[in-house]
Amino acid sequence: MTTSTISPKFQIVIPKDVRRKLALKPGQKLQVTEKGGGIELRPILSPDQLIGYLKKKGEPLEFEREEDREL
């Protein structure tokens, strides 16, 4: 387990091994939520990072498109 300390300005440093594993970049936004008495940080992914995110290896991603409607 890796630890981090809260600074007087309430900032923390995300440990290097975690940054590398999650491919976090400087300036990247994180979603911060309180969960069960703890803090959960989740990276907010860009559209480019979402490509293939839901696709399992070797399986095509299937979806249904709504019919086009005229306004």
Is residue 34 assigned to a domain? yes
Give residue 46's domain range.
28-55
| Residue 71 within any structural domain of the chain | no
What is the phi/psi pair of residue 17, to 5°?
Answer: -65, -35
**Contact in structure between 43 and 51 (CB atoms under 8 Å):** no
Count of structural domains, the chain: 1
In a domain, 61, yes or no: no
Give the HSE-up count for residue 18: Cα atoms under 13 Å, Cβ half-sphere. Answer: 10
For the stretch 33-65, pLDDT in tens is 999 999 999 888 777 767 766 665 666 656 677
Contact 63, 52 (CB under 8 A): no
Q: Are 35 and 41 in contact (CB under 8 A)?
A: no
The pLDDT assigned to 66 comes to: 78
| 46 within domain boundaries | yes
Is 32 a member of any domain?
Answer: yes
Residue 39 lies in a domain: yes
- N-term to C-term CA, the chain: 56
pLDDT tens digits, residue range 7-33? 999 999 999 999 999 888 899 899 999
Residue 2 resides in a domain: no
Task: Report the pLDDT value the prediction gives residue 11, as an integer from 0 to 100.
Answer: 94
